[in-house]
């Protein structure tokens, strides 16, 4: 009986978890934009993927920029309390994946993003509108 109680989440707790995940995805996206990432998208994959709730996709023009964007995203997620479970591709500069549990961030070199076409793979996933603060929007 104790395990059943532990497994049951209230609606309010689920809403809080979902709201936190959305905020983390937005913070990751904005960290990328701050480092001049392009074509930033947040995909809502709840119900479509079992391993995460949101995918954040972004592109960078060079290997160095891919690494800089990924570092900034990692730092921002940590500040927000989302400690990444794992990171793949660090240093290669082609495609870096940051797994923060309910948010998975993909930072692609522009050519790699076109080649792997992850956007089409998740074409059924709703895209979230990114709320860009005015100070950032004037730069973008």
Domain harbouring 115, CATH code: 3.30.460.10
Q: Show the domain range for 16.
A: 8-129
**What is the count of structural domains for the chain?**
1
- Taking only the tens of pLDDT, the chain with its 140 residues reads 444 444 454 544 555 778 899 999 999 999 999 999 999 999 999 999 999 999 999 999 999 999 999 999 999 999 988 888 999 988 777 999 999 999 999 999 999 999 999 999 999 999 998 877 654 444 44
Q: What is the 3 state secondary structure string of the chain?
A: CHHHHHHCCCHHHHHHHHHHHHHHHHHHHHHHHHCCCEEEEEEECECCECCCCEEEEEEECCHHHHHHHHHHHHHHHHHCCCCCCEEECCCCCCEEEEECCCEEEEEEEHHHHHHHCHHHHCCCCCEECCCCCHHHHCCC
């Amino acid at each position: 009986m104790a395990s059943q109680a532990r497994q049951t989440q209230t609606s309010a707790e689920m809403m809080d978890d979902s709201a936190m995940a959305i905020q983390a995805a937005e913070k990751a996206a904005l960290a990328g934009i701050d480092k001049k990432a392009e074509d930033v998208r947040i995909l809502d994959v709840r119900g479509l993927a079992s391993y995460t709730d949101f995918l954040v996709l972004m592109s960078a023009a060079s290997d160095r920029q891919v690494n800089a964007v990924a570092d900034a995203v990692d730092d921002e997620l940590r500040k927000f309390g989302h400690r990444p479970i794992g990171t793949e591709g660090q240093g290669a500069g082609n495609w870096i994946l940051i797994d923060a549990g309910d948010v998975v961030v993909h930072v692609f070199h522009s050519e790699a993003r076109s080649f792997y076409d992850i956007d089409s793979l998740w074409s059924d996933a709703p895209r979230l509108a990114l709320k860009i603060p005015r100070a950032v929007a004037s730069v973008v």
